[in-house]
């Protein structure tokens, strides 16, 4: 087949009188509902299946990356075990991420089995789009419901500069393949970067509308030692103001189960979303945790505390201990992160590619 510490809790942010539950292990898990100590239900898991990627995006990783040896990464069978236990605890949405998940050898073996999990209602994928012309149809057949595709620019030269090695034409072919395969509500993700792609925000929305896509604009986050963010950071409010010069944006109460807040354009089915970890902290409704390719469970993207599930996975084939480790990890999920505006000082030492897209 494919065989291949608890941290210290950070002081909660903005509690406003919020009273933690005494013991997350008693918080309704017998009914298959995973709750953290603040009573928030965890229904969404982002599972990274590889740290490797065929791009080297400037905001995501260093130009010269050292990738993990195979033995340090969860096998596909271990990924399936983790996902199965989470679904048994009431998780209904699972997002497959990387790196670039579709460069993982035999990734479809795992995705097909995840798509068959009883109780999982929403299997989704985040990708850079480079492999979709090959995999769109098999992904649809496997039960993947939606696909998010990173696209920061429509300029081939600029795309090469941002990704360092990427080919825009492959991504555009992948977008076409997703539509032909039958996917609906495919979403583009664009990281907002002043002086890099801020002159294309209107064109990106036009592209989304013309191709019946959703699009989300994402504020840069201080993950990994990447210099220059203080100069490139743009808030969601500023981008909305730019877009309002061309489009009428109507606030929507729609919820995709993630952190984006959506606006509608009259006469279009496309949604324009904003993910704003700096300017509009969405922690009070956080329903998700992340699992890295090495089996580290991060209850919060904006903190360094994690639980290492790999020793539990490899210590026993019995999922009882794994289930308990996941339940116990809810005890270190903080109320929220508090990204400062010191963008060139990484508040989280790992790169985004290490945590999972």
Nearest Cα neighbor of 114 from 102, 105, 126, 122 is: 122
Calculate Rg over the CA atoms of the chain: 20
Q: How confident is the model over 179-220, as pLDDT tens digits?
A: 999 999 999 999 999 999 999 999 999 999 999 999 999 998
The tokens for 138 are: 């098999």
Q: How many CA atoms lie within 13 A of 98 on its CB side?
A: 27
Per-range mean pLDDT, top range of 255-269, 279-293, 336-350: 255-269
CA dist 5 and 286 (Å) reads 23
Whether residue 322 lies inside any domain: the answer is: yes
Q: Are 219 and 233 in contact (CB under 8 A)?
A: yes
Q: State the pairing for strand pair 93-97/44-48.
A: parallel
Whether residue 7 lies inside any domain: the answer is: no
Q: State the pairing for strand pair 307-308/271-275.
A: unpaired
Tracing tokens 């950070």 back to the chain, one arrives at 10
Residue 23: per-residue pLDDT:
55
- Please say if the pLDDT value at position 280 is more than 60: no
Residue 111: per-residue pLDDT:
98
Whether residue 260 lies inside any domain: the answer is: yes
Per-range mean pLDDT, top range of 53-62, 253-262, 322-331: 322-331
CA dist 45 and 336 (Å) reads 17
Residue 61: per-residue pLDDT:
78
Enter the pTM of the model: 0.84
Confidence of residue 355 (pLDDT cuts 50, 70, 90): low
Determine the distance from the C-alpha atom of residue 333 to the mean position of all C-alpha atoms in its chain, rounded to a whole number: 17
Quick one: what percent of the chain has pLDDT higher than 70? 80
Residue 17: per-residue pLDDT:
40
Whether residue 16 lies inside any domain: the answer is: no
pLDDT, the chain, mean: 85
- Please say if the pLDDT value at position 94 is more than 60: yes
User: Judging by beta carbons within 10 Å of its beta carbon (0-12, 13-18, 19+), is residue 312 exposed, middle or buried?
Assistant: buried
Q: Could you give the number of structural domains in the chain?
A: 1
CATH number at residue 130: 3.20.20.70
Q: State the pairing for strand pair 146-150/122-127.
A: parallel
Whether residue 152 lies inside any domain: the answer is: yes
Q: How confident is the model over 33-45, as pLDDT tens digits?
A: 899 988 999 999 9
The parent domain of residue 35 ranges over: 24-355
Q: Sign of the C-alpha dihedral, residues 171, 75, 97, 123?
A: positive
Q: Are 99 and 53 in contact (CB under 8 A)?
A: yes
Residue 352: per-residue pLDDT:
53
Whether residue 336 lies inside any domain: the answer is: yes
Confidence of residue 229 (pLDDT cuts 50, 70, 90): low
Residue 345: per-residue pLDDT:
47
More confidently predicted of 24 and 150: 150
- Please say if the pLDDT value at position 227 is more than 90: no
User: Judging by beta carbons within 10 Å of its beta carbon (0-12, 13-18, 19+), is residue 257 exposed, middle or buried?
Assistant: middle
CA distances from 305 to 34, 105, 331 (A): 19, 29, 11
Partners of 264 in beta bridges: 250, 271
Q: Are 138 and 102 in contact (CB under 8 A)?
A: no
Q: How confident is the model over 101-160, as pLDDT tens digits?
A: 999 999 999 999 999 999 999 999 999 999 999 999 999 999 999 999 999 999 999 999
Nearest Cα neighbor of 137 from 166, 102, 161, 103 is: 102
Whether residue 17 lies inside any domain: the answer is: no
Whether residue 310 lies inside any domain: the answer is: yes
- Please say if the pLDDT value at position 13 is more than 90: no
Backbone φ and ψ of 205, nearest 5°: -65, -40
Q: Are 230 and 195 in contact (CB under 8 A)?
A: no
């Amino acid at each position: 087949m494919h065989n291949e510490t608890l941290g210290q809790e950070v002081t909660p942010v903005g509690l406003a009188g919020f009273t933690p539950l005494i013991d997350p292990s008693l918080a309704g898990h017998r009914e298959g509902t995973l709750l953290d100590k603040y009573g928030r239900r965890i229904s969404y898991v982002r599972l990274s299946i590889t740290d490797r990627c065929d791009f080297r995006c400037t905001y995501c990783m260093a130009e010269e990356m050292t990738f993990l040896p195979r033995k340090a990464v969860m096998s596909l069978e271990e990924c399936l075990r983790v996902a199965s236990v989470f679904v048994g605890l009431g998780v209904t949405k699972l997002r497959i991420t990387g790196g670039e998940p579709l460069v993982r050898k035999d990734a479809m073996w795992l995705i097909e089995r995840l798509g068959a999990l009883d109780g999982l209602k929403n299997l989704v994928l985040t990708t850079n789009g480079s492999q979709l012309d090959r995999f769109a149809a098999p992904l649809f057949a496997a039960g993947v419901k939606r696909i998010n595709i990173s696209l920061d620019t429509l300029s081939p030269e600029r795309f090469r500069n941002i990704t360092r090695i990427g080919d825009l034409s492959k991504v555009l072919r992948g977008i076409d393949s997703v539509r032909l395969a039958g996917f609906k509500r495919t979403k583009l993700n664009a990281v907002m970067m002043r002086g890099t792609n801020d002159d294309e925000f209107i064109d990106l929305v036009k592209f989304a509308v013309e191709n019946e896509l959703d699009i989300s604009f994402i504020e840069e986050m201080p993950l990994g030692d990447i210099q220059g963010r203080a100069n490139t950071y743009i808030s969601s409010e500023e981008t909305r103001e730019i877009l309002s010069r061309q489009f009428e944006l109507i606030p929507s109460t729609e919820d995709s189960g993630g952190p984006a807040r959506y606006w509608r354009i009259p006469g279009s089915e496309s949604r324009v979303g904003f993910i704003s970890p700096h300017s509009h902290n969405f922690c009070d409704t956080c329903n998700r945790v992340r699992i890295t390719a090495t089996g580290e469970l991060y209850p919060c993207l904006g903190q360094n505390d994690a639980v290492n599930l790999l020793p539990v996975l490899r210590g026993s084939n019995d999922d009882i201990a794994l289930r308990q480790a996941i339940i116990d990890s809810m005890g270190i999920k903080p109320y929220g992160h508090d990204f400062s505006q010191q963008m060139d000082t990484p508040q989280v030492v790992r790169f985004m590619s290490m945590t999972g897209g």
